[in-house]
Structure 1
Amino acid sequence: MSCGSKKEWIKIPDCNTPCVIEVAKDAVNQHNKASGDNLVFKRVIIGWFLEIDDHTIKHRLYIEVINSKGVVLIISIVIVVVTKDGKRVRTLVSSHHGYPDEKDLFIFWNKIPDVNQPCVQNVAKWAVNKHNKDKNDYLVYVSTVEGWYIEVADHSGTLVYKLHIKAKECIGRVRDYCAVVKEEKPLTERIRTLLEFFPIPPKK
């Protein structure tokens, strides 16, 4: 989900305080209950809060968790805490698996659970075709390995995709590429812009 403008949020100076840890653990528990996952809380990496009114605060936290296979993951959660009459009620608004952007930690790349969905495949194939047109190249789309997306704040319906694509060169070699595509939906028409397209170096 889009979390609004970064300017509205205040960074939490210390995410190791008991109140922040309590909110984070409750968020993980609510996520597990809703999704059927069995994530185990590890730590809060970074967080922000947004004051809605005198009784309501919205938290945005990046939490390290461990899944049932022992793999450490990062989830971004948004949870609303209402304090009234001496009681606190916490409601999980959203939770996504992914990773923070390297340049701007407020931006969180949400993992796409199924890259074989038609909407994702369409973006991936479009990216390869657009690259070919712009660079006079001859790549042939093969598959999408994995992908992430962000929702652009204050721009309803605008997504930015980051896709790990396999494409075949004209000599027959298959290589890995990263495609970053911005997709806007002002009305019914989709407007796409290829922001980046580059080969991914082989893992050593």
Structure 2
Amino acid sequence: MRSSLLHLLLFIFTIILLHGSTTAKKPPLFGGSHPIKNLTDPHILDIANFAVTQHNKEANSNLIFERVIKGKIGVVEGVEYHLIIEAKDGTNICKYEAVVWEREWLHFRNLTSFKLLKKKSQAAWKPVENLEKDVHALEMAEFAVMEHNKKAEDVLVLKKVVSGETQVVDGVKYRFVILAVDGAKVCHSYEAVVWEKAWLKFKKLTSFKLLKKLT
């Protein structure tokens, strides 16, 4: 009789322990929210990356996550992350608000909201100083003419770089006004824009347009 009673008490005690360990893993159904103090916490960055990746899948976009600016956490039958993040859209860095709902004990995440807040204004164009002696800038202008000739099957010959400007935007953009002679020996004025990422050995002609015929 005593042995049976001990077994019964041991069984009840085991059930209580198991129940306690199971329910301890689950967060409360509802609760308040509080700001995120450590914005570089690996789990927060993982949530932000998930938000951008999921948005890219849903919107067929190619945003690249940059950083978390601020955020807060709310407990709602799991954890809800409200994040303000920066992500790169092409050459622009934009600010977005993302909301991710996570139930970590179920290995569940869902992007419930992702919206554009505003774009960062691009850096201003600045004139190239000592343009005539800036070898690299002149090489960029020559590259612009060569690339145009390849794409347009043209035969322009660069005569002079009239002016040049640079803009820092995920690398450097060069904007030139140049004089070039076509196959009929007629001189024209053009505007050319070249985008360079020197650390990647990347350069691209993004714009080349006729301004006016000079002679």
Instruction: Using structure 2 for the length normalisation, give the TM-score.
Output: 0.41
The structure with the largest helix share of the pair is 2
Q: Give the structure with higher Rg (CA).
A: 2
Instruction: Using structure 1 for the length normalisation, give the TM-score.
Output: 0.43
